[in-house]
């Protein structure tokens, strides 16, 4: 049974920590970072002062009313702090677990890889970039580095959360190791690639805590917009007070509009809902990436992922399963199908490659060939070599070979057998379909062809179709020849492909798209991917890849799964959708607040304004209190949505906008009308306000 995932709000420890942090964040220096909530913070202080002054007989409004407004405003600030603190909670919990993995262990420092016996025991904190260490089974890797010698099984669960160990070895694209992981078997000689305090683990801790989080350009732009709105409403509120004073003097009455009421109006009209949740939305987006085991080096990268319209994906391991599989036996020159399948299976019994295993399985499934043992048949396995480009088996009186077309052609010619036109046409047809032809010969006579095929992963066609709906173009990157690449691209349903890919080719393609105004995302794990990763707008480096690739990327996939790029785009789009939806809801809320507060403020001057009291609120005090209470409670009500994010849907931008306006625009208008009326009824029933 699948266990239900614990949310931040359902974790008592996380909630307790967030409540404590909510009060710590009342520090003016912290509040100053959010201009919109700073306005609420100052308003809370101002109404608190007005209440204290009212106790000495200098009343701006009834003391009880002023106190109620002050208390509600303080709660509004605390609720906003809580939203941010609960969003940070996941990151802090993850940072705590990472710190537990970061220990100052003893390192076996050696002068050079050739001097493994000259070990000096030092603390890992004393290691410097360029030092060499040897790590044996059961020991913790003391620092980030590159494997320069050896191969070993490494437990990376402290970093990735995955219990299955991975192989790390010198050379290739799986040579990078992370400090804090543990060698399970064998040994490694590692060259340290980071200084103390600058390791990958240190960067992870800083990122997940949010200490290094910078606001993204869109977030900054939205905050500027919200500040501009707040300034406009400040000017409007000051103008209303001046107008109220003037009107009261003209009518010869005492000004009925109190400063407390105008402060309440200002807070209600200012975009406090989105202002309170803006930071939480950004932190929660980064947290969702962390939960997906992706470390984003900047908030800008997450946001860019939401705007990406070009997706460049590796073929092997992303679009295809990564290993070719036998899908068909094709006899030639009158050979019986069963004889071909029998020979193909016999030649593959000792072949432990994925291709060899698939040939054995296909023969078993198609022709019932099973239960054969090489020793019983007195067979000798002939391994594949780069020189012969063939493998096979010899047994008394017979020899079977399978291999590349040109190798088997030469093998058949040596035995005096022809390479027929039918065989050549079959090889050409398979190649044109994007497959790999593997010829089988028995005693130098060619029996037929095995069709090896790159197997497209289940569901990728649907994923690419969904991406196409939202305007994202998918491009497959492969080292295959153009003919093979075209066939696989057509089957997978990608929009384009780059065949015989080189570092220069990838870089040129990315630059070309960017010059046309596109945002490009790509994955990579090798040193040869580093130039393209550095150029891409969203560059996801595999954690198992080289140090060069990780330094060039702006995200690191700790699971080293190339398909993660699609999930990253979804999370990025979800972040933008959530921010847009809650902004729409927040601004739409103001419409109901106008009808609640404006008539209440000026009813004493202009009784005719009672016609605008369409909610039939009890009186001016209850109207203002109801609006300001709703303004505080809606922040708490929207925290789960800010943390979880608006549900991602693969629809066009037009349909997404229409849905957004319908749910969050229209909903943002209707919800406060209903809620403010209910709050008004409750506070009147409880006797919190009197008639005025």
**CA atoms of 246 and 262, how far apart (whole Å):** 16
391 annotated to a ligand binding site? yes
Give the max Cα distance, the chain: 123
385 annotated to a ligand binding site? yes
**CA atoms of 531 and 343, how far apart (whole Å):** 47
Per the CB < 8 A criterion, the answer to whether 311 and 472 are in contact is yes
387 annotated to a ligand binding site? yes
Per the CB < 8 A criterion, the answer to whether 510 and 502 are in contact is no
Collapsing DSSP states into helix, strand and coil, what is residue 102? coil
Name residues whose C-beta falls within 8 Å of residue 416's C-beta, 6 or more positions apart in sequence. 444
Query: Could you give phi then psi for residue 459, rounded to 5 degrees?
Result: 90, -10
402 annotated to a ligand binding site? yes
**CA atoms of 468 and 487, how far apart (whole Å):** 19
355 annotated to a ligand binding site? yes
Per the CB < 8 A criterion, the answer to whether 74 and 84 are in contact is no
Task: Name the token pair of 9.
Answer: 């709000």
Collapsing DSSP states into helix, strand and coil, what is residue 123? strand
390 annotated to a ligand binding site? yes
Nearest to 260, CA basis, from 465, 551, 59 = 59
386 annotated to a ligand binding site? yes
CA angle 656, 661, 667 (to 5 degrees): 130
Task: Name the token pair of 276.
Answer: 């309170």
314 catalytic? Reply is: yes
389 annotated to a ligand binding site? yes
Rounded to a whole number of angstroms, the CA Rg of the chain reads 34
Task: Name the token pair of 76.
Answer: 């509004």
Token pair 């048949």 is at which residue?
377
83 annotated to a ligand binding site? no
Report how far apart, in Å, the C-alpha atoms of 144 and of each of 296, 528, 543, 691 are: 18, 21, 12, 71
Neighbours of 625 (CB within 10 A): 27
Task: Name the token pair of 118.
Answer: 């000259």
Nearest to 578, CA basis, from 213, 215, 303, 298 = 303
384 annotated to a ligand binding site? yes
**CA atoms of 226 and 278, how far apart (whole Å):** 10
DSSP symbol at 663: I
Which residue among the candidates 202, 314, 537, 590 is catalytic per the annotation? Answer: 314
Report the DSSP beta bridge partners of residue 400. 393, 442
**CA atoms of 408 and 450, how far apart (whole Å):** 13
Residue ranges for the known binding site are 351, 355, 384-391, 402, 525, 529
Residue ranges for the known binding site for Mg(2+) are 525, 529
Residue ranges for the known binding site for ATP are 351, 355, 384-391, 402
Annotated catalytic residues are 314
């Amino acid at each position: 049974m699948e266990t239900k995932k614990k949310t931040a709000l359902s974790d008592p420890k996380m909630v307790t920590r967030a409540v404590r942090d909510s009060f710590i964040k009342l520090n003016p220096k912290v509040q100053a970072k959010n201009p919109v909530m700073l306005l609420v913070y100052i308003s809370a202080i101002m109404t608190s002062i007005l209440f204290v002054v009212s106790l000495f007989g200098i009343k701006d409004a009834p003391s009880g009313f002023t106190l109620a407004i002050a208390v509600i405003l303080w709660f509004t600030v605390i609720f906003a702090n809580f939203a941010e603190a609960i969003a940070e909670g996941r990151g802090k919990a993850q940072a705590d677990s990472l710190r537990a993995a970061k220990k100052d262990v003893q390192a076996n420092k050696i002068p050079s890889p050739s001097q493994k016996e000259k070990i000096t025991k030092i603390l890992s904190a004393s290691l410097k970039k360029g030092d060499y260490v040897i790590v044996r089974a059961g020991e913790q890797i003391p620092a980030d580095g590159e494997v320069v010698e050896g191969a070993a099984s490494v437990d990376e669960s402290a970093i990735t959360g995955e219990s299955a160990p991975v192989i790390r070895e010198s050379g290739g694209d799986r040579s990078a190791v992370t400090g804090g992981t543990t060698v399970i078997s064998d040994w490694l000689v590692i060259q340290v690639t980071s200084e103390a305090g600058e390791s990958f683990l240190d960067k992870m801790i800083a990122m997940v805590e949010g200490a290094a989080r910078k606001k993204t350009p869109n977030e900054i732009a939205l905050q500027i917009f919200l500040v501009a709105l707040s300034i406009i409403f400040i000017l409007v509120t000051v103008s209303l007070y001046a107008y109220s004073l003037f009107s009261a003097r003209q009518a010869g009455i005492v000004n009925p509009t109190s400063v407390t009421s105008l402060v309440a109006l200002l807070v209600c009209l200012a975009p406090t809902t989105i202002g309170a949740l803006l930071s939480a939305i950004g932190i929660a987006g980064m947290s969702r990436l962390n939960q997906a085991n992706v470390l984003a080096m900047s908030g800008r990268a997450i946001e860019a992922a939401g705007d990406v319209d070009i997706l460049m994906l590796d073929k092997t391991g992303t679009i295809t399963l990564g290993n070719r599989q036998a899908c068909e036996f094709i006899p030639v020159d009158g050979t019986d199908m069963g004889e071909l399948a029998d020979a193909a299976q016999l030649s593959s019994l000792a072949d432990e490659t994925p291709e060899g295993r698939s040939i054995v399985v296909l023969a078993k499934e198609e022709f019932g060939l099973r239960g054969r043992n090489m020793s019983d048949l007195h067979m000798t396995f002939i391994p594949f070599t780069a020189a012969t480009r063939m493998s096979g088996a010899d047994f008394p009186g017979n020899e079977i070979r399978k291999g590349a077309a040109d190798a088997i052609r030469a093998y058949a010619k040596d035995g005096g057998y022809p390479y027929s036109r039918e065989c050549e046409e079959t090889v050409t047809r398979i190649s044109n379909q994007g497959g790999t032809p593997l010829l089988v010969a028995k005693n130098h006579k060619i029996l037929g062809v095995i069709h090896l095929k790159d197997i497209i992963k289940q569901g990728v066609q649907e994923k690419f179709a969904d991406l196409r709906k939202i305007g994202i173009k998918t491009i497959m990157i492969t080292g295959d020849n153009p003919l093979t690449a075209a066939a696989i691209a057509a089957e997978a349903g990608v929009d384009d492909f780059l065949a015989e890919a080189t570092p220069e080719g990838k870089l040129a393609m990315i630059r070309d798209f960017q010059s046309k105004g596109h945002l490009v995302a790509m994955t990579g794990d090798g040193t040869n991917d580093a130039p393209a990763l550095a150029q891409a707008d969203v560059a996801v480096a595999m954690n198992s890849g080289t140090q060069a690739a990780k330094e060039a990327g702006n995200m690191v996939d700790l699971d080293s799964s190339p398909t993660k790029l699609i999930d990253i785009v979804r999370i990025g789009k979800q972040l933008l959708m959530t921010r847009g939806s809650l902004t729409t809801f927040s601004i739409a809320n103001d419409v109901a607040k106008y009808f609640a507060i404006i008539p209440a403020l000026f009813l004493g001057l202009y009784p005719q304004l009672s016609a605008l009291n369409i909610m039939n609120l009890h009186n001016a005090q209850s109207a203002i209190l109801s609006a300001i209470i709703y303004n505080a409670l809606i922040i708490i009500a929207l925290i789960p949505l800010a943390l979880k994010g608006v549900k991602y849907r693969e629809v066009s931008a037009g349909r997404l906008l229409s849905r957004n306006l319908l749910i969050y625009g229209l909903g943002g208008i209707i919800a406060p009308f209903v809620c403010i009326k209910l709050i008004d009824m409750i506070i009147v029933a409880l006797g919190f306000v009197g008639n005025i």
